């Protein structure tokens, strides 16, 4: 048999791994289920100083920017992080509230509402926690906290209805990195996407219809999704197809045709081609074509954030009126509304079947 202890010289050079665990825990306690919601993240304040580390983490993620690391590092730290933090801080300041970041506050409210909903409909207790892919609270810290609370079965739900390697794929990376540090990782399930989930489509449709009832219906409905580079899709990313599927299903549910409901992609950066048509060019073109009232919804965002409140409701609203339109009217994200809470609760219960807390449920 091989000597597993080895020589003292070998021991002196071998790295010692420290794994997070729970010493002295009771193994007789029943396993508890947990759900980890994950959203993109946000800086701690609308300032250049707070934006710099946040952007460094976000734009330094190889899932987000697929570019030779050494070359991108030089661009990121030599150019972008010297210029962009101040510009982004100005944009964040336009939407920052007394409670803080809209994305952080909205995500926390959604997590709390979902916790309350699951308490009503699940067969047993399910712990709901919220993490941010970039910034705080981190995925790693939240998974470690759930472990300390006795969670042995974990469902991860990235708050991205449509899968992309730049978003959900990055969350999976973060979860994997966190699990590598655990002495006894919990059983794991991950929801890759819910772009065509019937409950989600119904929630989107009801939200739009309710908004139309309160504010009247515009001349056209535009669905604006976050963009990604075209080469990511060419390399196999399913994001474009899933955005098209969401658009088709919502169009069918609302009873609209392809001229009444159109789609576009926002938030492009850099010079390479991104998914088209671009939102900013689309709203200008529609205004020039005679559209006076344009309704815009963003089905790729579970919670309102910088990209919806500032980029769409402010920037693109200005583009639209400058091009001759009368009003671009942004329809809010689902946020912590009853429709989204109910649809996500049902989604969670389907994906956790077989776990004691979720194998049976009360009436939804």
> What pLDDT sits at residue 346?
97
Buried b / exposed e over 249-279, threshold 16 CB at 10 Å, is bbbebbeeeeeebbbbbbbbeeeeebbeebb
Reported as a pLDDT band with limits 50, 70 and 90, residue 130 is very high
Same structural domain for residues 91 and 186?
A: yes
Q: Residues annotated as binding site for Fe(2+)?
A: 226, 307
Q: Is 276 within the bounds of a domain? A: yes
Same structural domain for residues 38 and 125?
A: yes
Q: What is the mean pLDDT of residues 269-273?
A: 91
What range defines the domain where residue 212 resides? 198-330
Q: What is the mean pLDDT of residues 31-58?
A: 96
> What pLDDT sits at residue 25?
64
> What pLDDT sits at residue 362?
58
Is pLDDT of 134 > 80? Answer: yes
> What pLDDT sits at residue 13?
58
Same structural domain for residues 235 and 321?
A: yes
Alpha carbons within 13 A on the beta-carbon side of 135: 18
> What pLDDT sits at residue 38?
98
pLDDT, tens digit, for every residue of 148-184? 999 999 999 999 999 999 999 999 999 999 999 999 9
Q: Is 203 within the bounds of a domain? A: yes
Q: Is 17 within the bounds of a domain? A: no
Same structural domain for residues 171 and 224?
A: no
In sequence order, which ranges of 38-101 are alpha helices (DSSP H)?
A: 48-59, 69-75, 81-95
Closest CA to 341 of 153, 117, 33, 154: 117
> What pLDDT sits at residue 55?
96
Same structural domain for residues 299 and 347?
A: no
Which residues are CB-neighbours of 329 under 8 A, at least 6 positions away? 215, 218, 293, 294, 295, 296
> What pLDDT sits at residue 28?
66
Structure tokens belonging to residue 108:
């926390």
Same structural domain for residues 222 and 269?
A: yes
| Pairwise CA distance, residues 142 & 178, whole Å | 9
Same structural domain for residues 224 and 116?
A: no
Residue 264: which CATH number? 3.40.50.1400
Same structural domain for residues 214 and 289?
A: yes
User: 355: helix, coil or strand?
Assistant: coil
Same structural domain for residues 203 and 319?
A: yes
The domain tally of the chain equals: 2
Reported as a pLDDT band with limits 50, 70 and 90, residue 270 is confident
pLDDT, tens digit, for every residue of 297-337? 999 999 999 999 999 999 999 999 999 999 999 999 999 99
Same structural domain for residues 220 and 316?
A: yes
- pLDDT, averaged across the chain: 93
Q: What is the mean pLDDT of residues 235-244?
A: 98
> What pLDDT sits at residue 124?
85
> What pLDDT sits at residue 21?
77
**Is residue 35 within 8 Å of residue 121, measured between CB atoms?**
no
Same structural domain for residues 286 and 343?
A: no
pLDDT, tens digit, for every residue of 8-39? 554 555 556 778 877 656 666 777 899 999 99
Q: Is 15 within the bounds of a domain? A: no
Query: In this structure, is the dihedral angle defined by the CA atoms of residues 173, 178, 184 and 189, taken in order, positive or negative?
Result: negative
Closest CA to 299 of 272, 346, 258, 265: 265
| Pairwise CA distance, residues 67 & 96, whole Å | 32
pLDDT, tens digit, for every residue of 253-264? 999 999 999 999
Q: Is 104 within the bounds of a domain? A: yes
Q: Is 284 within the bounds of a domain? A: yes
């Amino acid at each position: 048999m091989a000597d597993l202890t080895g020589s003292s010289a070998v021991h002196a050079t071998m790295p010692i791994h420290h794994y997070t665990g729970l010493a002295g825990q009771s193994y007789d306690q029943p396993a508890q289920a947990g759900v980890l919601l994950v959203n993109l993240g946000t800086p701690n304040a609308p300032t250049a100083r707070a934006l710099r580390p946040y952007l460094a983490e976000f734009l330094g993620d190889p899932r987000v920017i697929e570019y030779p690391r050494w070359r991108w590092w030089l661009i990121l730290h030599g150019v972008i992080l010297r210029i962009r933090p101040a510009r982004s801080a100005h944009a964040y300041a336009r939407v920052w509230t007394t409670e803080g970041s809209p994305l952080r506050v909205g995500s926390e409210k959604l997590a709390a509402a979902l916790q309350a909903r699951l308490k009503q409909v699940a067969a047993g207790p399910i712990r709901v926690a919220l993490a941010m892919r970039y910034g705080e609270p981190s995925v790693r810290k939240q998974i470690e906290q759930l472990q300390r609370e006795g969670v042995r079965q974990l469902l991860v739900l990235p708050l991205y209805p449509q899968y992309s390697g730049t978003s959900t794929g990055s969350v999976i990376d973060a979860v994997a990195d966190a699990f590598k540090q655990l002495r006894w990782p919990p059983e794991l399930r991950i929801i890759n996407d819910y772009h065509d989930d019937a409950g989600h489509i119904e929630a989107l449709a009801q939200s739009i219809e309710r908004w139309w009832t309160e504010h009247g219906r515009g001349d056209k409905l535009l669905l604006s999704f976050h963009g990604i580079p075209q080469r990511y899709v060419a390399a196999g990313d399913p994001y474009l197809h899933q955005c098209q599927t969401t658009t088709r299903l919502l169009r069918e549910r609302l009873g609209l045709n392809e001229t009444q409901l159109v789609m576009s992609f926002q938030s492009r950066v850099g010079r390479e081609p991104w998914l088209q048509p671009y939102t900013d060019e689309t709203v200008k073109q529609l205004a020039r074509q005679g559209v006076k009232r344009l309704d815009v919804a963003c089905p790729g965002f579970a919670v309102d954030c910088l990209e919806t409140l500032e980029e769409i409701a402010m920037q693109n609203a200005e583009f639209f009126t400058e091009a001759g339109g009368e009003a671009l009217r942004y329809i809010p994200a689902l946020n912590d509304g009853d429709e989204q809470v109910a649809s996500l609760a049902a989604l969670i219960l389907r994906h956790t079947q077989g776990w004691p807390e979720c194998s049976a449920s009360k009436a939804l």
